[in-house]
Structure 1
Amino acid sequence: MTNLPAQITVVMAVRNAAATLRDAVDSILHQTLAPAEVILVLNGCTDESQSIADDLAEGNKRIRLEKTDSTGGVAAAARLGCALAKSPLLARMDADDLSHPERLEWQYAALRENEADLVTCRVEALNSQGAGLDRFIDWANSLAEPEDFRRERFVESPVIQPGVLMSREAYQRAGGYRVEDGPEDYDLWLRMLADGACFVQAPGARLQWRDSATRLTRSHDDYSEQRMTATKARYLARLEKVRNNGVAIAGSGPIGRRLAGLLLAEGVQVHGFYDVAPKKIGKTALGLPIWAAGDLLAKINSPVLLGCVGRGGRARVRSLATTAGYREGDDFFACC
């Protein structure tokens, strides 16, 4: 990746963003490392977004306008924009966010320095609607090195999409965005990581990520917890050790049971659950045994261990797993 020229196409899917579109585009046009082109994909807009986009593109040869209907949603819009990009590097941006003037310059420097395939940036919330988003951003901002992204990839989506710079080659090699039920961005990151892509963070780069009650990740079924968990299960089931050894799940609560059910549907052997609640130990969930957490040391049948105890218990499960000899990212994964 070190020889990739600083030629960047910014792809922005636009859906009824009249109130914020002009500022978003302005923030990306006035980068210290100017993009070669900005592709605005109007995705079934019914407000004034089209006329604003026309005005922005008039006299500016770097701005290119495309259209899709709303059927395929943001995934289809992003896929179209990336397919039409002429540059070797692709940056994503949302029509209601703001990029710091040096964002692309810092990300390009990090891509070259680390020979990376994808570079994230640090994100700040605009008008945060709750503590949950703030916790997610803090967690995503903590991922900086390639091993962080690989280790944490089944906790949550490890990349905040509108803050991405990536090589077009790595994007295409993984198959690009796909239009299907579920989070199109998380699906792409998991495929890229499975393909061996190197992810890093450019800590100097910044994105202001606007939150609202109508933001897709809050309002659309594709980004629901159920769809996220189904995506995790699909890619966990493709891991060789998971296929060969099956899994044991730390946590027999709703999250663990849901993941277990999805893995069983994928044909994965689920050996059982570990739990700390005395009243659960010795009973069953989904017809599978529940063992005491201390039995992690036994590594029953050497299955891959999946931690499903929520953010508050993640550190405890990691400690138990490390003591038991599990290697995170190989035979142990935190999954929430």
Structure 2
Amino acid sequence: MSREGENTPFSLLLPVYGKDNPEHFKRAFTSSVNTQTVPPSEVVLVEDGQLPASLASAITDVVSSSKVPVRIVRISDRGGLANALTVGLDACSNDVVARMDADDISLPDRFERQLERMRAGLDMVGTGMFEFADDSSIVIGRRTPPIGSEAIAAYARFHDPFNHPTVMYRREAVLAAGGYEEIGLMEDYWLFARMIHSGARVDNIPDPLVMYRVGAGAYARRGGVKQFQAEWSLQRALRRSGFTSRLQFARNITVRGLYRFVPVAVRKTLYRSIIHRNFLDRTS
């Protein structure tokens, strides 16, 4: 990539809340700012609710060592991820915004490669991910997203086609689609579907450029009555918008809905098998 890409200003949007691990947060910040081949122009750090002293101290540490300006936005009462991202987007100085979670790790050339695709005219570009549990040197899985606008649109009728912690997008395109709206743990899927449906130019880089931390409760959070209700709301919204057909709605409610009620061990097995199968399908 030419050195011109380094002159494309972009903001890093990183929300934190009280249960985030301070050491994980510090590594997430450092990997996304200080060790990037092309660092962000600014960091917008959203504090979603009151934070414990250990996390507040970690924020002080990273701000003091940051190579770029850090803007801290504080929300007094925790309002959830969709609200934090909405508030954070409003505070970003640049139209191009990169997402990052407080417990993941960006690989050094992540933003350089994404900016190259954004400069070619995309409104959003995601990447693949490596998954790890506690030790980032031990990869336990790999998520390879669909590539190309047609494949992404088709895939999105049943699955989220982007890995949310990896995306870089244009704020203008996000706002044109209506921005983030709270739907359980699926506010990203709903936003991306609306962006695709409204004609946003999107693609994925298949290579893993983010290391995604799989926490102990990850599979439990995907199940239960509350998540089924969120799934129902999402599928109704997708159908009402015209993004899915009646047949696709029925399939999604049946398959994705039942998935919310299987035992956690079964859910984990199903999820891992789907991830593994999709990886093989896209690399064969």
The TM-score, its normalising length taken from structure 2, stands at 0.75
In 2: Cα distance, 1:77 partner to 1:55 partner:
22
Q: 1:240 to 1:58 in 2, by over 3 A?
A: closer
Do the aligned residues in 2 keep the contact of 1:123 with 1:207 (CA within 8 Å)? yes
2:24 is equivalent to residue 17 of structure 1: no
State the Cα distance separating 1:112 from its structure 2 match. Answer: 2.5
Q: Tell me what 2:262 maps to.
A: none
2:37 is equivalent to residue 35 of structure 1: no
Q: Tell me what 2:64 maps to.
A: 58
* Identity among equivalent pairs (%): 24
Do the aligned residues in 2 keep the contact of 1:53 with 1:65 (CA within 8 Å)? no
Q: 1:66 to 1:148 in 2, by over 3 A?
A: same
Q: 1:38 to 1:196 in 2, by over 3 A?
A: same
Q: Tell me what 1:101 maps to.
A: 108
State the Cα distance separating 1:233 from its structure 2 match. Answer: 2.7
Bigger relative contact order, structure 1 or 2 (CA pairs below 8 A, ≥6 apart): 2
State the Cα distance separating 1:6 from its structure 2 match. Answer: 1.4
| CA offset digits 1:69-90 (Å, max 9, x no partner) | 4531111111111110001201
| CA offset digits 1:72-131 (Å, max 9, x no partner) | 111111111111000120100001000011000101112223x21110011000118xxx
- SS in structure 2 of the partner of residue 52 of structure 1: helix
- SS in structure 2 of the partner of residue 95 of structure 1: coil
Give the RMSD, CA atoms, in angstroms: 3.7
2:87 is equivalent to residue 80 of structure 1: yes
Aligned residues: 252
Q: Tell me what 1:218 maps to.
A: 221
Q: Tell me what 1:197 maps to.
A: 200
Paired AA for residue 56 in structure 1? V
Gaps of 5+ in 1: 129-133, 259-309, 316-336
Q: 1:237 to 1:65 in 2, by over 3 A?
A: same
Q: 1:148 to 1:240 in 2, by over 3 A?
A: closer
| CA offset digits 1:150-177 (Å, max 9, x no partner) | 0011222111111000111111111211
In 1: Cα distance, 2:220 partner to 2:197 partner:
24
Q: 1:240 to 1:144 in 2, by over 3 A?
A: closer
Q: 1:32 to 1:205 in 2, by over 3 A?
A: farther
| CA offset digits 1:245-301 (Å, max 9, x no partner) | x5487869943887xxxxxxxxxxxxxxxxxxxxxxxxxxxxxxxxxxxxxxxxxxx
In 1: Cα distance, 2:226 partner to 2:127 partner:
21
In 2: Cα distance, 1:201 partner to 1:252 partner:
23
Q: 1:193 to 1:20 in 2, by over 3 A?
A: same
Gaps of 5+ in 2: 135-139, 259-272, 279-284
Do the aligned residues in 1 keep the contact of 2:184 with 2:227 (CA within 8 Å)? no
| CA offset digits 1:37-68 (Å, max 9, x no partner) | 01111122235111211222136451121212
- SS in structure 2 of the partner of residue 157 of structure 1: coil
Equivalent position to 1:124, from 127, 130, 136? 130
Q: 1:56 to 1:155 in 2, by over 3 A?
A: same
2:189 is equivalent to residue 186 of structure 1: yes
Q: Tell me what 2:255 maps to.
A: 255
Do the aligned residues in 1 keep the contact of 2:38 with 2:109 (CA within 8 Å)? yes
Equivalent position to 2:8, from 6, 9, 23? 6
In 2: Cα distance, 1:63 partner to 1:48 partner:
19
Paired AA for residue 42 in structure 2? E
The TM-score, its normalising length taken from structure 1, stands at 0.65
